[in-house]
Amino acid sequence: MSAPGRSDAVIAGRLPLNHRSGLFGAGLLVAGLVLTWVSLMRLDASAGFIKYILVAVALGAVFQGLKLVSKWIFGPLFDLGLWLSALWISLLVLIAVFADLLPLRESRDVSQALQAPIRQRPNLFSSHPLGTDAQGLDILGGLVYGARVSLIVGFGAVLIGITVGLTVGLAAGYYRGKLESAVSFLTDSMLAFPPLILLLAMVAVLSPTVANVTVALAVISVPTYIRLARANTLAFAQREFVLSARLLGERNPAIISRELLPNVLLPVVSFSFVIIAVFIVTEASLSFLGLSISRPNPTWGNMIAAGETRLNDHPHAVAVPGVALFLTVFSFNRIGDRARKMWDPREAKL
Amino acid sequence: MSESTNPSPPLLRVRNLSTGFETPRGLLWAVDGVSFDLDQGRTMGVVGESGSGKSVLVRTVMNLLAANAVVPDDGEVLFRGRNVRDLDAIEERHFWGTEMAMVFQDPMTSLNPVKRIGRQLTESIRFHLGLDDDAATERALELMNQVGIPEPKKRLRQYPHELSGGMRQRVVIAIALSCSPKLLIADEPTTALDVTVQRQILDLLGRIQRETDMAMILITHDLGVVASYTDEIAVMYGGQIVEHAATSDLFEDLAHPYTEALLASIPRIDLPSHARLQAIGGRPPDMVAPPPGCRFAPRCAYRTDECEAAIPELISVADRMHTCRCIRPLVSHRDVAEAVVAPNRPGSS
Ligand SMILES: Nc1ncnc2c1ncn2[C@@H]1O[C@H](COP(=O)(O)OP(=O)(O)OP(=O)(O)O)[C@@H](O)[C@H]1O
Ligand SMILES: [Mg+2]
């Protein structure tokens, strides 16, 4: 059922736009940009704390201004946060894929970075735009290669989880019977085991490579995926279109893959964005603790750990990967929220 | 067995069919000893309260049962002389669609929400008729015209949620008709639709039934609705057929007290009633432990002690084709029945 509120909102979207708020937004945007530039470039370190507060205020103004302007241009339904999230994730994926082609300074091998200044502050117009760390390694480079690790681990674990979870969950939910009982018993037992302990045990036993961490996280997610897939399969398998597919000559495997899978996939995928965010944080925490990928391979977690000792006078070594982590997790959650609203059968307008 | 004078066997012959379900409380007999014949070109209405076993009956006829269903071997479903229950999996897949097809209650759930209408329509055509994509699409457009879907080309590319309930049910009917079945079973095809559309869908089913000369089983709660679309009516109660007659005979000479109670709850017979049946006093029987005698006895206004002794046989009343499961059918006692208000009817047959 399409909710009345929804169509009202669409109608509201066609109402004449408010030019005054648009112009105000443009002003705010410009002021915010100027303030950002001034506070980042013109204030030196002596400003200290004040500088960061000013930057935060300036960025807030930029965001609000951009929001008003984008609504002015694209209509009041335009969701700036969502688009910025999508933009950030796309950017991240691009730099992670093409990391080797980018003109980055050495971020891995200390012996190659002997000439580089250590603990250099970020300066967008220098050869180390985001500065260097205690060993002279480039932070931007670390950020890019760290993004690669975060994304591979997040997406990889979720893909494995989805594949296994869907296969098992669909079969259990469709064929029922003994298979379902066995699967339920297994997933329940796995869910009863504290996931953190299981994870720590796995990374302790396995060598900390990207592949192993990915698999360990996937193992944690599989029972949840199986449950989700099974529950959705049960709901859809009762619908008559499944029966009519049988009546029209489809065999069980075809019914599962062509009738049920597309329906079950939507809620499972929309749930996955949130899980990717959780896994990226988990991987960062593990490598912060030295339990996951460690130096010389940069990850956001081990970069934070490395910069932590000089947090007071050189905060950028922690702030840069920290902000990247925050933005990434925030973006995945934001996209996940929207996807759930669109696709989840409980909320969808079907 | 064969009481029909018709020399050729009927299209569908159901004999002593029972269906039970294993439930935690014990075996539940949802269908209990049902027999009937249905000839080509005829429409049979099946009416009865919710839970009386109508859906289970037709699903058993189509051999489409849940895993916990039990069908005793003495029950027979002969379709064109073949026992449906003997079909193997491969035969079954060719049987469904080309021999028997089904239209379900809720067009919301009988179409796959994530597949385009076109694909849902052409899939079975391609499978059963072995047509290629273009020919199947051609056939789909033809079917959509037949069931009165405007702008069929555009609809092919749409998803179910883009269509209204009535249009969706037309699509479901088109799918059911796609391989020209000999028997169409419509299980409450209009219950989920709004009143103005109900009539259109029933008219459509009636017209197609006449045009194609197929047989049809039309299930509904609503005696008023079936009256104008059926040749004969079977009234079900507690898993049994309690009365079965030609439509006009049923309304003129109703014999079973349950049928009477059903009819009494409809304001006018000649006008289609869209209201659901009012509940008849008392509750439907518990099918795990049904009452020992006549299933309707506990709620019957004419009950006697005799009624609770044994399950009444299905007997002929008025004419041979009119059968009724009551030891003292109302037909022969109409005057008496109307004279008496008290539940205990004096005298016996
Ligand atoms: N798979 C099943 N397992 C157990 N009991 C079942 C199952 N399917 C149906 N029943 C029971 O069989 C009985 C008859 O159900 P059926 O669906 O045939 O009723 P109906 O006459 O079609 O009712 P309605 O008008 O509500 O559709 C009900 O008591 C129902 O609970
Ligand atoms: Mg039913």
| Partner residues linked to B47 by β-bridges | B220, B235
- What ipTM was assigned to the predicted interfaces of this complex? 0.71
CB within 8 Å: B64 and A263:
no
3-class secondary-structure state, position A78: coil
A337 to chain B, minimum CA–CA distance in Å? 21
Q: How far is C-alpha B225 from the chain's CA centre?
A: 13
Q: Identify the closest residue of chain A to B112 by CA–CA distance.
A: A241
Lookup result for tokens 């379902």: A180
* Whether B56 contacts chain A with CB within 8 A: no
C-alpha torsion sign, points B133, B139, B142, B148: negative
Of B64, B106, B128, the CB nearest to A249: B128
What are B36's strand-pairing partners? B14
Q: Which helix (H) or strand (E) holds A118?
A: none
Task: Quote the crossing angle between the two packed helices A261-288 and A195-205, to the nearest 10°.
Answer: 70
Q: Is B110's CB within 8 Å of A244's CB?
A: yes
Pull the structure tokens for residue A42: 């013109």
CB under 8 Å to B264, separation ≥6 — which residues? none
Task: Select from A331, A320, A318 the least CA-distant residue to A151.
Answer: A331
Q: What average pLDDT does range B197-221 have in this prediction?
A: 91
Is B110 touching A (CB cutoff 8 A)?
yes
- Hey, is A189 helix, strand or coil? helix
The residues of chain A scoring below 70 in pLDDT are: 1-17, 42-48, 113, 344-350
Ligand closest to CA B31: 1
Ligand 1 within 6 A of CB of B221: yes
Peptide bond into A296 cis (omega under 30): yes
Asked whether B16 lines ligand 1 (CB < 6 A), one says no
In the predicted model, is pLDDT for residue B251 greater than 70?
Answer: yes
Q: Residue length, chain B?
A: 349
The pLDDT confidence band at residue B234, using thresholds 50, 70 and 90, is very high
Protein residue closest via CA to atom 24 of ligand 1: B50
Contact list in A for residue B109 (CB cut-off 8 A) is 239-241
d(CA A60, CA B194): 52
Looking at the complex, report in whole angstroms how far the Cα of residue A248 sits from the nearest Cα belonging to chain B.
Answer: 5
pTM to 2 decimals?
0.77
Dihedral in degrees, nearest 10, Cα atoms B138, B141, B146, B147: 140
Cβ contact, residue pair B110, A247, below 8 Å: no
Tell me the per-residue pLDDT of A219-261, one tens digit each, with 9 for 90 and over.
Answer: 999 999 999 999 999 999 988 889 888 877 788 899 999 899 9
Three-state secondary structure of chain B: CCCCCCCCCCCEEEEEEEEEEEECCEEEEEEEEEEEEECCCCEEEEECCCCCCHHHHHHHHCCCCCCCEECCCCCEEEECCEEHHHCCHHHHHHHHHHCEEEECCCCCCCCCCCCCHHHHHHHHHHHHHCCCHHHHHHHHHHHHHHCCCCCHHHHHCCCHHHCCHHHHHHHHHHHHHCCCCCEEEEECCCCCCCHHHHHHHHHHHHHHHHHHCCEEEEEECCHHHHHCCCCEEEEEECCEEEEEEEHHHHHHCCCCHHHHHHHHCCCCCCCCCCCCCCCCCCCCCCCCCCCCCCCCHHHCCCCCHHHHCCCCCCEEECEEEEEECCCCCCHHHHHHHHHCCCCCCCCCC
Residues B52, B234: Cα–Cα separation, whole Å: 12
User: A-chain residues within 8 Å CB-CB of B102?
Assistant: 244, 247
- Pairing between β-strand B26-38 and β-strand B12-23 as defined by DSSP bridges: antiparallel
Q: Ligand 1: which residue has its CA nearest to atom 22?
A: B55
Distance (Å) from the alpha carbon of A17 to chain B's nearest alpha carbon? 29
For the stretch B47-64, pLDDT in tens is: 998 889 999 999 999 988
* Nearest residue (CA) to ligand 1, atom 10: B30
Evaluate: CB of B9 within 6 angstroms of ligand 1: no
Give the tens place of pLDDT for each residue, B285-295: 888 888 888 99
Amino acid at A5: G
Buried b (16+ CB within 10 A) or exposed e, B280-295: beeebbebeebbebbb
How far lies B67's CA from each of A168, A226, B62, in Å? 20, 23, 15
Q: Does B115 touch chain A (CB under 8 A)?
A: yes
Distance B57 CA to ligand 1 centre (A): 9
φ, ψ at B142 (rounded to 5°): -60, -45
The 10s digit of each residue's pLDDT in B60-111 is 999 888 778 889 988 999 999 889 888 888 888 888 888 999 998 888 888 9
Q: Which residue has the higher pLDDT, B263 or A190?
A: A190
B175 touches chain A (CB under 8 A): yes
Highest mean pLDDT pick, A3-12, A161-170, B18-27, B174-183: A161-170
pLDDT at B272: 52
Residue (of A342, A320, A312) closest to A45 by Cα position: A312
**d(Cα A349, Cα B177) in Å, to the nearest integer?**
29
For strands B215-220 and B183-187, give the pairing.
Answer: parallel
- Candidates A177, A247, A349; nearest CB to B97: A247
Q: Sorting pLDDT into bands at 50, 70 and 90, what band is B45? A: very high
Closest CA to A226 of A155, A274, A153, A162: A162
Residue A177 contacts B, CB cutoff 8 Å: yes
Query: Measured between CB atoms, does A244 come within 8 Å of chain B?
Result: yes
Output the average pLDDT for chain B.
Answer: 84
pLDDT band of residue B269 (cuts 50, 70, 90) is very low
Give A227-230 contacts, CB < 8 A, sequence gap 24+.
Answer: A227/A169, A227/A187, A227/A191, A228/A165, A228/A169, A228/A267, A228/A268, A228/A271, A229/A165, A229/A166, A229/A168, A229/A169, A229/A170, A229/A173, A229/A264, A229/A268, A230/A168, A230/A169, A230/A170, A230/A172, A230/A173, A230/A180, A230/A183, A230/A184
Return the SS3 of A289: coil
Backbone angles phi, psi at A116, to 5 degrees: -75, 145
Please list the residues that pair with B19 across neighbouring strands. Answer: B31
Residue A50 CA to ligand 2 centre (angstroms) = 72
| Residue the block writes with tokens 């199986």 | A226
**Record: contact B102-A247, CB cut-off 8 A:** yes
Ligand located closest to B69 CA: 1
* The pLDDT of residue A349: 43
Contact (Cβ atoms closer than 8 angstroms) between residue B66 and residue B255: no
Task: Tell me, yes or no, if A346 comes closer than 8 A to chain B by beta carbon.
Answer: no
B144, B152 in Cβ contact below 8 A?
yes
Closest CA to A70 of A15, A5, A17: A17
A226 C-alpha vs ligand 1 centroid, how far in Å? Answer: 30
- Integer angstrom CA distances of residue A322 from A304, A315, A319, B52: 7, 10, 5, 65
Tell me the C-alpha distance between B338 and B349, whole Å. Answer: 16
- Smallest Cα–Cα separation from B337: which of B297, B294, B300? B300
Degrees to nearest 5, angle at CA B68 with B24 and A191? 70
Q: In this complex, which of B96, B106, B120 lies closest to A247 when CB atoms are compared?
A: B96
A251 touches chain B (CB under 8 A): yes
Neighbours of A314 (CB within 10 A): 19
Contact between B161 and A266 using a beta-carbon 8 Å cutoff: no
Please give the residue that has the higher pLDDT: either A38 or B34. Answer: B34
Closest to A137 in 3D by CA, of A302, A311, A328: A302
Over residues B263-267, the mean pLDDT reads 71
Of A188-202, B2-16, B264-278, the one with minimum mean pLDDT is B264-278
**Residue nearest atom 2 of ligand 1, based on CA coordinates:** B21
Q: Do B64 and A243 count as a contact with CB atoms less than 8 A apart?
A: yes
% of chain B with per-residue pLDDT over 90? 43
Residue spans of alpha helices (H) in A2-79: 4-13, 19-37, 49-74
Instruction: Report pLDDT for B335.
Output: 44
Give the integer Cα–Cα distance in Å for A168 and B95.
31
B92 shares contact with chain A (CB less than 8 Å): no
Residue written as token pair 């209201």 = B275
C-beta of residue B159 within 8 angstroms of C-beta of residue B114: yes
* Nearest ligand atom owner, CA of B51: 1
Classified as helix, coil or strand, A321 is helix
3-state secondary structure of A236: helix
| pLDDT confidence of residue A214 | 95
